[in-house]
A = this chain, B = another copy of it.
């Protein structure tokens, strides 16, 4: 079943999304207040959205109880990789809708779930998340958007709020793709505490409804005042929204808005990590095809660009980075599925620990891959025609949004590791080592298992030293967290490559596929894993050279 779903996913992504990727970038979204709606997506996006909606792709992993297909996230991740690879901008409209439905499923009342989930799963309604304000990016505790309680009798007496404030950088905040847009909005109820503790989450519908839930023509008081001109993802509308006494309803508990957002954050970060994977992978595929095709004189090693070892090196880096990323994304999504099934908190802790690594590492490596792919083309990679430069621009945002990669690193080392004195980290590594001890690998790979084991020890000892030295702990942790996260990322990929070799060997396969995996494992350890020493040395060197 999964195979046939993925075959269908490949078809619709390749046939519907890929053809409007470059044209969508060239045209971009347009903004014109004299039009309704004021934001127009590029040619072909309305039709593509329609097709994804009709074929049920919005509800792939949603709750079957509300009409979705209920498939595991580990399947959803493979679908998402295809989406991001074939049309990053389009993926975001779908991704935000899935994210909003996920939040409602976890935090909304049954009434609201009944009302909205079927429409979000069908794509009839789409979603947006309204967090950032002009003065408040990462620091959400300082947001100024206010909510004032009102009774609204024609809504069946349900409690409501009037929301007022300005939000920026709102992906899919306005567009012409769906009948209605469901905004999830962070705001502070009048009189509630300042900072993180006084923030609540609200649902604000773009259009008003009558008491039977039928959409009215009248728009709620949410206005798109502008869209951003960006480096990339130009077909994705990035909106400034003005809420002017817009009617909204509370989602979850009062003052628990940030927590409600955080429970979804693992899913959102996973999705953005997959953006890095998808773009890195398609950039590699195209660069490889170009290198094979481009003639470059006769050499003893061939007459195309692949004859050049440096070109092969660049392509091989991209290939192993995509393979490591794919393993990592599926590894985490599988844990998310397990947690959903059994509510085992130890799994949830692992997901929370690893997700910032996943998000930052996959998007950093994804960007690196798109840049390397562009380099393979030479001058042809710098012009629009080949598409290589669009992947670079589209991949760049993934390192920034959904929490910058610096924020991910601080979350990883400063919150997830320092918080419990590395105990969940240690438990996770014990689990991996237990597994590693059972591997029966060919002798050529045993050296790598030993290296990985020694490297884990090095990282754990470094972590202990770091946490012991409490003097200026915050500053030092922030100073080294990015190098620390990178160290751990390279360890994880190393683990995945050996795990693949181990599982393939134990199945005694002898195909081209296995041969390539083994070669890639050698390449990864000899040319990429070597980066670990630099990052770990930087961690060990602390922050003394940085204090001004």
Contacts and interface: CB of A to CB of B under 8 A. Distances in A.
A397 B378 contact: no
Contacts of A479: 309-310, 312-313
B399 A375 contact: yes
Contacts of A534: 530-531, 533-534
A419 interface: no
A544 B296 CA distance: 23
B531 A545 contact: no
A229 B313 contact: no
A383 B312 contact: no
A228 interface: yes
B530 A538 contact: yes
A503 interface: no
Interface in A520-544: 522-523, 525-527, 530-531, 533-534, 537-538, 541, 543-544
Given A313-B479, A479-B310, A527 B541 contact: yes
B309 A478 contact: yes
Interface in A142-194: 142, 169
A139 B231 CA distance: 33
Secondary structure at the A interface, as helix, strand, loop or mixed, is helix
Interface stretch (A47-55, A113-121, A388-396, A456-464): A388-396
A411 to B, nearest CB: 12
Contacts of A546: 309, 312-313, 316, 523, 527
A381 interface: yes
B548 A523 contact: no
Contacts of A135: 295
Contacts of A526: 538, 541, 544-545
A379 B169 contact: yes
A525 B537 CA distance: 11
Interface in A449-484: 474-479, 481-482
A519 interface: yes
A311 interface: yes
B378 A228 contact: no
A54 to B, nearest CB: 33
Interface residues of A, number: 77
A82 interface: no
A331 interface: no
A507 B392 CA distance: 47
Contacts of A389: 230-231, 396
Nearest to A396: B382
Nearest to A520: B545
A312 B378 contact: no
Given A228-B383, A379-B169, A404-B378, A541 B530 contact: yes
Contacts of A238: 383
Contact of A308 (B228, B313, B478): B478
A268 B519 CA distance: 40
A137 B541 CA distance: 44
A132 interface: yes
Contacts of A541: 526-527, 530
Contacts of A474: 300
A380 B132 CA distance: 11
A230 B383 contact: yes
A545 B530 contact: no
A262 interface: no
Interface in A399-431: 399-401, 404-406, 409-410
Contacts of A392: 231, 396
Contacts of A410: 310
A380 B410 CA distance: 20
Contacts of A213: none
Contact of A230 (B142, B308, B382, B527): B382
A384 interface: yes
A189 B231 CA distance: 45
A405 B301 CA distance: 21
A378 B538 contact: no
Interface in A356-404: 371, 374-375, 378-385, 389, 392-393, 396-397, 399-401, 404
Nearest to A169: B379
A138 interface: yes
Contact of A132 (B229, B311, B379, B481): B379
A72 interface: no
A141 B310 contact: no
A307 B383 CA distance: 39
Contact of A229 (B141, B228, B384, B393): B384
A384 B138 contact: no
Closest 6 CB pairs of A and B: A309-B479, A309-B478, A231-B389, A526-B541, A522-B545, A523-B545
10 contacts: A137-B380, A301-B475, A308-B478, A309-B476, A310-B406, A310-B478, A522-B545, A527-B545, A530-B534, A530-B537
